[in-house]
Amino acid sequence: MSAQGVGLVDYDEAVSRFDPVLGLEVHVELNTKTKMFSGAPTEFGAEPNTQVDPTSLGLPGAMPVLNAKALESAIRIGLALNCSIAERCRFARKNYFYPDMPKNFQTSQYDEPIAFDGHLDVDVPASEDGSKPAFTYRVQIERAHMEEDTGKSLHVGGSTGRIHGAEYSLVDYNRAGIPLIEIVTRPLEGTGDRAPDVARAYVAALRDLLRALEVSDVKMEQGSLRCDVNLSLRPSPDAPLGTRSETKNVNSLRSVERAVRYEVSRHAAVLDAGRKVVQETRHWHEDTGLTTAGREKSDAEDYRYFPEPDLVPIEPDPAWVEQLRATLPEPPAQRRKRLQAEWGFSDPEFRDTVNAGAVELVEATVAAGAPPAAARKWWTGELSRRANAEGVELSALAVTPAAVADLQALVDAGTLTDRLAREALDGMLAGEGGAAEVVAARGLAVVSDESALVAAVDAAIAANPGVVEKIRGGKVQAAGALIGAVMKEMGGKADAARVRELVVERVGA
Amino acid sequence: MSTPVAELVRWDAARLSQALRAGVVSSEEVTRAHLDRIAAVDGPTGDPDGSGVHAFLHVDAEGALARARQVDADRASGAELGPLAGIPIGVKDVLTTRGMPTTCGSRMLEGWVPPYDATVVRELHAAGLVVLGKTNMDEFAMGSTTEHSAFGVTRNPWDPTRIPGGSGGGSAAALAAFEAPLTIGSDTGGSIRQPAAVTGTVGVKPTYGAVSRYGLVALASSLDQAGPCARTVLDTALLHAVIAGHDPYDSTSIPAAVPDVVGAARRGADGDLSGVRVGVVRELSGEGYEPGVLARFAEALDELRAAGAEVVELSLPNIVHALAAYYLILPSEASSNLAKFDGMRYGLRVVPDGEHVTAEQVMRATRAAGFGDEAKRRIVLGTYALSAGYYDAYYGSAQKVRTLVQRDFTDAFGKVDVLVSPTAPTVAYRLGEKLDDPLAMYAGDVATIPANLAGIPGMSLPAGLSDGLPVGLQVLAPQQADDRLYRVGAALEARLVAKWGGPLLARVPEWKGVPA
Amino acid sequence: MSAISRAEVEHLARLARIDMTDEELDRMAGQLDAVLDAVAQVASVVTDDVPATSHPVPLTNVTRPDVVRPGLSAEEALAGAPEAEDGRFRVPQILGEEA
């Protein structure tokens, strides 16, 4: 299905004959307590039209005043993206009519963004099958600017609940005026067949960076990070840029990758058919994996930008900017490299840790005294399984990194076997207390009373003469049956290695 | 009580203030006197084309009386009250009033009741003033005659067949008709000063940013400024002191102390301007100005000289381009500010006939029905001036002219303390005279708009009569030197009133309505 | 030569979301032409080295702390709405791009 009715070209074939050029526009909702230009709250999921005031509702007479925290966040984002920070910049009005925009203009920045000319180095991982290697791509950032979000419309009537066929709409202005930072790349050239991977890796890297800056929830599923994908094809890297499509509504990492692939295939088909790509806005459909045509850009509105007279120019004090620069967090990519080296993880081990979302948790567990390998095993293994089973984030489990470190200390001290440690974890997750408390309360500690162990070993030997015969006959692996019997007798609370030593010693093999 | 109630409406605010503090009258009596006066001369509600003054679009008699009684009770309990506590005031219908209709003179907002007070209105309440109601205006403050109000014209108390000026014709006429001793206006290109001039009252456009614009429904954000209107310079200063000051809800509000305007008005009242340098703007007199206007202006200059001021003529070459720049900047900003009126969230909604009517169709039908001709003209003009391809030639160039005008003023104020000119080139013209000739109407703003472009303060005060109609004199001062207006204005007022043997408004004919 | 054509006025009225009759468009075109003729001088009096003034009073860096201030209840927000439903503003069907 294609708007231009020419089908699709296989992706690999498309990229063998065309050079894709990407452009990415990411909107980030800041996590400020109040809106960009007024003191209305910004709580997600509140009852409709309860997070509003005269300004965010665009009432006659209301005026904007810039949120200082939003300005600070914008500058920090700019600095983290290696941008220059404007010595002076202004807001502008972008004029167009839309029912979810209360003033019928969006207060944004036009030709004077707060941050410009930056870059972000993105680590693009190797393909799953290893046929395509990992590499680093430098994404050039054109600008990062401040603006405000719009309200949200609920389309009522029709069969789909979508805008088309709806009889009317219900508008909630809670989201109107929430601070947004729009981050715009320059054209990403030279990605070749890796364009989808680069796009995904960039958005992932940006998300990690914004999370490290603690400026946004960066929840793509809630819309606090939204991505528009621009794509064009040209016959060769030397050719001028082709006509681009702008795909909106791409709201997961996987969708970013899929949308790029889809648009590459679609553009190639249009070009193969000897047609021209239409410059237009397209909508990504998560369910079908397709894009459909929206508004044609050739008929674009004239936005009639002009400097916002209700807001005064911004001239950030250079000393303040330097102070913000000095207190930026370590860049996530650099931090990962450092942690991987410090922990001595292999690439796959570290990737598993990252994919499990466990880097910070492992770091904290190590800081609390656990060996890195053990911390990794807990968080990417047992704890990930439990989080999955409960359907919660790893960090939402009822156990702290310090508690995990305490548990591991008991294992390292020989007080707990791995199995006992897992049992202790049950108690910890059930809120029964810390590792030591649960071990004491549940009586989980390994039995260290040698005479009790010896008695149990002797009893097992006496009860299994056949097994003893086999061991004495040289079948040492048969000792397992005796060890098992002893462990069962001891309720698992024995150190299996010590039991093996005793069995071998008492059988006299 | 010895004072006849009807006489109270002729008292100025300073005198009412003394009487209230002395316990000679109560706020309730004063308020009732003004409500009675409104009932007598303003014309019946719902008869906008009748023969009343029609200065008010909405009168809140009950609310005003309740408020007055509250102030009286506060005073009786010994509470510390400001000088204007208990004094009635009219508020131009361009400022939001919580729980009281705010229409901006437009069908678009007919029946809209704002859920919040403008900062100026909050200041009035805090100072104990008694809001009588909302005054008439040209739609969204676009016009110089108040004929562009969707709810009928306001008539000039000096001659009911003539314009009261605009856009704040209601606020000025209410003063001249003794319906209120004080009113609030707003001035984007002269909407306080020009109505003051043609009604024989006093009006001040403060320095841009001196009075909060929060809750002032925006026409042109970089030009709009709310300000005080009254019958005397001292009253205007007393009101100025109440409404001026920094407001954290307005980004363009000046975070500095308000100049001592009341002190300046009191000092000026001794009529001595020794050492004050007064500049006469060459470009703002002569051709295009009526002889009667120029005659009164010349006499006022003589009074200034007699007061000891040094009067010199100087040139501000770029202000001849101010009118053109203004009529690009204003429509541009207005086209954006008025975009919010679309029938979606508040105010008028017009749904065209037909099935599957879309939001866009409703917006277009609503704006077609809700805006009058002058509003539409300016919106379309502004849309054009901001369009890609025209922006540099029109809006961009106009903003540069603005810089040149500002520089001219800076140079001039390096040589003189204040500048003076006639406020308007003509006295009040007849209703309907320029209704179909927007350019002729715009030309009347030639002397007032330079102050808005430069952000400087300006005052209009009565300079006398020409053919029985008031002539206004304008005083301009540098940004944040609003006190100079009051010193010079009060001195001139004192000398002129002495010369006339009483205030000019004592000569306003008793209201008889439109002659048959 | 006229500065603005009737077709342009029609386009501008559409941009500004104002329905206009043919008679209105004709009248408006004539009036706007006269006004534009009178204001066009601004382009000829300025030079490139003159900076534009967007704000008459030179203030910079006006911000407010990120602190919640009392706003409006849903009832207050919706009080002036031409139509409301389920705590939301009810508006006619929206065509064009998806939000």
Contact B115 C41 (CB under 8 A): no
Q: Are B230 and B188 in contact (CB under 8 A)?
A: no
* Partners of chain A (3+ Cβ pairs below 8 A): B, C
Q: Does residue A284 sit in helix, strand or coil? A: strand
Set of chain C residues whose Cβ sits within 8 Å of the Cβ of B390: none
Count of B-C CB contacts under 8 Å: 180
Q: Which of C84, C91, A38, A59 is nearest to B102 (CA)?
A: A59
What pLDDT does A450 receive? 77
Taking an 8 Å cut-off on Cβ atoms, the answer to whether B222 and A309 are in contact is yes
| C-alpha span between B209 and B223 (Å, rounded) | 10
CB–CB of B466/B290 below 8 Å? Answer: yes
Contact across the interface for A312 and C15, Cβ inside 8 Å: no
Q: Please, what is the Cα angle at A125 between A122 and A129, to 5 degrees?
A: 160
| Residues of chain A neighbouring B250 (CB-CB closer than 8 A) | 63, 65
Q: What is the DSSP track for A98-130? A: -TTSTTSEEEE-SSS-SEEEEEEEEEEPPPTTS
A134 token code pair: 């990992």
pLDDT for the residue A159: 57
Contact flag C77-A173 (C-beta cutoff 8 Å) = yes
For B24-72, what is each residue's pLDDT tens digit?
A: 999 999 999 999 999 999 987 655 567 899 999 999 999 999 999 999 9
Using CA atoms, how far apart are residues B231 and B181, in angstroms rounded to an integer? 7
In single-letter form, the type of residue at position A311 comes to L
How far is residue B166's CA from residue B173's CA, in Å, rounded to a whole number?
10
Contacts of C58 by beta carbon, 8 Å cutoff, 6+ apart: none
pLDDT, position B516: 62
A365 closest CA partner among A352, A356, A353, A374:
A374
B5-319+404-505 in CATH: which number?
3.90.1300.10
Instruction: Quote the CA–CA distance of B99 and B63 in Å, as a whole number.
Output: 10
Task: Name the one residue in this structure whose structure tokens are 């719009």.
Answer: A150
C-alpha distances in angstroms, A487 versus A419, A472, A503, B26?
A: 12, 21, 12, 99
Instruction: Delineate the domains of chain A, giving CATH numbers in brackets.
Output: 11-306 (no CATH), 330-442 (no CATH), 450-507 (1.10.10)
> Contacts of residue B118 in chain A, CB cutoff 8 Å?
61
Whether B191 is catalytic is: yes
- Chosen for mutation from A31, A43, A49 (greatest number of chain C CBs closer than 10 Å) is A49
Residue B397 appears among annotated catalytic residues: no
Backbone angles phi, psi at C84, to 5 degrees: -140, 155
Dihedral (Cα; B442, B447, B453, B458), 10-degree rounding: -130
Q: Which domains does chain C have, with CATH numbers?
A: 6-44 (1.10.20.60)
Q: How would you write the pLDDT of chain A (509 residues) with one tens digit per residue? A: 444 567 899 999 999 999 999 999 999 999 999 999 999 999 989 999 999 999 999 999 999 999 999 999 999 999 999 999 999 999 999 999 999 999 999 999 999 999 999 999 999 988 888 899 999 999 999 999 999 999 999 988 865 556 666 789 999 999 999 999 999 999 999 999 999 999 999 999 999 999 999 999 999 988 999 999 999 999 999 999 999 999 998 989 999 999 999 999 999 999 999 999 988 889 999 889 899 987 665 445 789 999 999 999 999 999 999 999 999 999 988 898 999 999 999 988 998 898 888 998 999 999 999 999 999 999 999 999 999 898 888 888 889 999 999 999 988 888 888 888 898 898 999 888 888 888 888 877 777 677 888 888 888 888 888 888 888 888 878 888 888 888 888 777 777 777 888 888 888 75
In A, which residues are within 8 Å of C89 by CB distance?
Answer: 49, 99, 170-173
Token representation of residue A404: 């995990």
ipTM of the complex, rounded to two decimals? 0.96
Which residue among B208, B347, B364 sits closest to C56, beta carbon to beta carbon? Answer: B208
Tell whether C74 is within 8 A of chain B (Cβ).
no
Q: Which residues of A touch B349 (CB under 8 A)?
A: none
Q: Which two tokens stand for residue A61?
A: 């007479």
Asked whether A429 and A442 are in contact (CB, 8 A), the reply is: no
Q: How far is CA C83 from CA A26, B195, C78, in A?
A: 35, 39, 8
Helices (H) and strands (E) in chain C, counts: 4, 3
Torsion angle defined by CA atoms of residues A251, A253, A256 and A257, in that order, rounded to the nearest 10 degrees? -160
Q: Return the structure tokens found at A110.
A: 């036009």
Closest C-alpha among B424, B170, B408, B397 to residue B279: B408
Q: DSSP code of A89? A: B
**CA distance between the termini of chain A:** 75
Distance CA B57, CA B132 (A): 11
Nearest to A20 by CA among A236, A223, A317, A266: A236
The answer to whether A71 faces chain C, any CB pair under 8 Å, is yes
Sign of CA dihedral A244, A249, A253, A259: negative
Amino acid, res. B264? A
Burial of A297 from C-beta contacts in 10 A (0-12 / 13-18 / 19+): middle
How many C-beta neighbours within 10 Å does residue B263 have?
14
Q: Do C54 and A283 touch (CB under 8 A)?
A: no
CA distance B395 to B324: 11
Q: Do B394 and C42 touch (CB under 8 A)?
A: yes
Placement of tokens 């303390």 in the chain = B417
Flag if B394 and C39 touch (Cβ within 8 Å): yes
- Annotation says B387 is catalytic: no
Determine the pLDDT at residue A5.
62
Torsion of the alpha carbons at B5, B9, B14 and B18, rounded to the nearest 10: 10
pLDDT of residue A467: 86
CA distance A390 to B207: 64
Cis (ω within 30 of 0) for the bond into B274? no
Chain C residues touching B357 at Cβ < 8 A? 92-93
Q: Which of B92, B134, B205, B434 is catalytic?
A: B92
Task: Identify which of B345, B346, B342 has the alpha carbon closest to the alpha carbon of residue B365.
Answer: B342
Whether the Cβ atoms of residue A493 and residue A446 lie closer than 8 Å to each other: yes
From the list B150, B147, B179, B148, the residue with the least C-alpha distance to B161 is B147
B176: left (phi over 0), alpha (psi -120 to 50) or beta: alpha
* Domain spans of chain B, in order of start: 5-319+404-505
Structure tokens at B18: 């003394």
Write the Ramachandran bin of B180: left for phi over 0, alpha for psi from -120 to 50, otherwise beta.
beta
User: Which residue ranges of chain B lie beneath pLDDT 70?
Assistant: 1-4, 45-49, 516
Distance CA B14, CA B266 (A): 11
Tokens 């650099």 correspond to A334
First to last CA, chain C: 43
Verify whether the Cβ–Cβ distance C93 to A152 is below 8 Å: no
Specify the pLDDT at position A162. 60
pLDDT truncated to tens, each residue of chain C (99 aa)? 467 899 999 999 999 999 999 999 999 999 999 999 999 889 899 888 999 999 999 999 999 999 999 999 999 999 999 999 999 999 999 875 443
Angle at C11 between CA C10 and CA C17, to 5 degrees: 90
Residue in chain A lying closest to C57 (CA): A312
Three-state DSSP class for B228? strand
